[in-house]
Amino acid sequence: MIEGPVRVRFAPSPTGMLHIGGVRTALFDWLLARQTGGQFILRIEDTDRARYTEGAVEDIKESLRWYGLDWDEGPDVGGPAESYFQSQRGSYYSSAAERLIGSGAAYECDCTPQRLARLRAAQQSAGHPPGYDGRCRNRPREEIDHSRRQGLPVVVRMRTPDRGRVSFHDVVRGEVGFDLARLTDFVIMKSDGMPTYHLAHVVDDHEMRITHVLRGEEWISSTPRHILIQRGLGIEAPVYVHLPLILGKDRSKLSKRHGADQALAYRDQGFLPEALFNFLALLGWSPGDDTEVMGRDEIVGRFSLDRVSDSPAIFDPDKLSWMNGVYIRSMGNDELADALLPVLSDPRGGLPESVPRPIDRERVRELTPLIHERLKRLDEAPELLEFFFVDEVSPNPAEIVQRKMDRASTVAALREALDRCRGVDPFEAEVLESVYRALASELGLRAGQLFGSMRVAVTGRRVAPPLFDTMAAVGRGGCAARMERAIEVLEIS
């Protein structure tokens, strides 16, 4: 457990819609902040204008809100920093770059893209690793100024030591060491005056007094660069926590193919934020026992970096569905009805257009108990409930006829069923069940045969909520009309 409040940041680049892996990082940040009474900061790393994607910042904010990851400082909420958008913090980076140049830790470089391309090609054909050869390390200032006046691109590079090692402590991996001979002079400021990620985030993490940097494992190999920049600026390194990769079940890089998606897609697919919160918390962390279903507060209480694993986490969409079902079952009927209303009303994927809007909340509330137990995702509800809302269903004759029955015997059975339907009193599930069990044995049918035909007749589907509850909810008139229709369908087909 960490002593004292942390300051952690989630620092996405708005280069696309937020992915589920990003939410996992933000979630671990948030957990640490809430557990220690610290701050969770959102910072938008938007210095790469070429890859800037319209709408990405909104998507990031909306996603974090949906997952319940409220930030204490950042866009919309403000905070002590002047801005939480890197594109508006340029002066911090240019003054850091000047300091680095002033002390000799960095230098300006006017190598043209053509020269760099030739260098790379030569290195490649000689079988050497690519990297800058240090040509500008000792260029006189006048030459650089001259190039600049000529309109040639000038970048700033860190002067990396030619030998030695740099090492840092990572909370998940322990001591991590790098051979500096493998690190060539890298760019910290581009020719457009924009900092690279390496410089910008180091400056910001320092300025924003970040204590712990949580980020994906893919950044480990860049960390020696960050340590060199920190040394050059004379600032202290934060505590590094590189989170394990998230892989698909086939252990390849996580993608849509694995059922993993953009952060907000889960909302649209009828998942509950609480279920995803719980599921994502377990991607790389475990509470140390078999507990899987844990609410937000319990996770905040139990979360610990000591139990973050250094091996990849596997994203299992079946487990996510299961967990979502668990959370749906834990909702009250009213709560579920409220959650279902927008899903059922949705013009895309909701109940058919023919069902009048607004959808009747009371009716939905009456029906939720019928599907509550089996629902794994909210977006399954429209299909499961549709037949309650439409006037007619269109049963498929082949589905009405059950195993070891034919059309004639099915028609005969449904006629009897229709007849009994008129007399059932009260028209309630228990009474219906006893009436129709008795009918099945009178007709010499197995209950499953009679009930199967009735189910398809009344709902138009082979799989539906429990038959007698369903019939009670459809009502006597509706059930009778649907059975008549099924008989008709069988007779004319």
Q: For the CB of residue 54, give the shortest distance to ligand GLU in the complex, in Å.
A: 17
List of residues 6+ apart from 177 with CB closer than 8 A: 165, 166, 167
Q: For the CB of residue 149, give the shortest distance to ligand GLU in the complex, in Å.
A: 34
- How far apart (Å, rounded) are the C-alpha atoms in residues 33 and 41? 9
User: Which residues ranging from 168 to 207 are in contact with ligand GLU (CB under 6 A)?
Assistant: 197, 201
Window of 10-18, 295-303, 330-338, 414-422 that interacts with ligand GLU by CB under 6 A? 10-18
User: Which residues ranging from 211 to 240 are in contact with ligand GLU (CB under 6 A)?
Assistant: 215, 219
State which residue, 201 or 258, has the beta carbon closest to ligand GLU: 201
- How far apart (Å, rounded) are the C-alpha atoms in residues 400 and 394? 11
State which residue, 69 or 385, has the beta carbon closest to ligand GLU: 69
Annotated catalytic residue, options 190, 249, 256, 404: 256
The DSSP bridge partners found for residue 292 are none
User: Which residues ranging from 340 to 399 are in contact with ligand GLU (CB under 6 A)?
Assistant: none
Q: For the CB of residue 253, give the shortest distance to ligand GLU in the complex, in Å.
A: 15
Window of 9-17, 337-345, 362-370, 406-414 that interacts with ligand GLU by CB under 6 A? 9-17
Q: For the CB of residue 159, give the shortest distance to ligand GLU in the complex, in Å.
A: 23
Question: Is 256 designated active site?
Answer: yes
State which residue, 34 or 201, has the beta carbon closest to ligand GLU: 201
Determine the size of the site formed for ligand GLU (CB under 6 A).
8
Q: If you count them, how many residues does the chain have? A: 493
User: Which residues ranging from 410 to 469 are in contact with ligand GLU (CB under 6 A)?
Assistant: none
Q: Would you give the distance in Å from CA 316 to the centre of its chain?
A: 13
Among 29, 45, 46, 379, binds ligand GLU (CB under 6 A): 45
- How far apart (Å, rounded) are the C-alpha atoms in residues 39 and 483? 62
Q: Is 12 in the site for ligand GLU (CB under 6 A)?
A: yes
Q: Is 13 in the site for ligand GLU (CB under 6 A)?
A: yes
Closest CA relative to residue 452, chosen from 443, 461, 442, 439: 461
- How far apart (Å, rounded) are the C-alpha atoms in residues 256 and 262? 8
Task: Please tell me what DSSP assigns to residue 16.
Answer: S
Q: For the CB of residue 86, give the shortest distance to ligand GLU in the complex, in Å.
A: 9
Contacts for 348-357: CB closer than 8 Å, 24+ residues apart: 349/379, 349/382, 350/382, 351/382, 351/385, 351/386, 351/389, 352/386, 352/389, 352/390, 354/390, 355/389, 355/390
- How far apart (Å, rounded) are the C-alpha atoms in residues 458 and 387? 8
Q: Is the dihedral of CA 279, 252, 380, 417 positive or negative?
A: negative
How far from 304 is each of 31, 244, 291, 432, CA to CA, in Å?
A: 9, 15, 15, 54
Q: Is 21 in the site for ligand GLU (CB under 6 A)?
A: no
Q: For the CB of residue 15, give the shortest distance to ligand GLU in the complex, in Å.
A: 7
Closest CA relative to residue 328, chosen from 273, 279, 268, 280: 273
State which residue, 197 or 271, has the beta carbon closest to ligand GLU: 197
- How far apart (Å, rounded) are the C-alpha atoms in residues 345 and 382? 9
Window of 5-13, 77-85, 250-258, 425-433 that interacts with ligand GLU by CB under 6 A? 5-13
Q: For the CB of residue 23, give the shortest distance to ligand GLU in the complex, in Å.
A: 13
Q: Would you give the distance in Å from CA 478 to the centre of its chain?
A: 42
- How far apart (Å, rounded) are the C-alpha atoms in residues 159 and 135? 11
State which residue, 243 or 359, has the beta carbon closest to ligand GLU: 243
State which residue, 86 or 453, has the beta carbon closest to ligand GLU: 86
Q: For the CB of residue 174, give the shortest distance to ligand GLU in the complex, in Å.
A: 20
Window of 6-14, 163-171, 176-184, 273-281 that interacts with ligand GLU by CB under 6 A? 6-14
SS3 state at 245: coil
Catalytic positions are 256
Q: Which residues bind ligand GLU (CB under 6 A)?
A: 11-13, 45, 197, 201, 215, 219
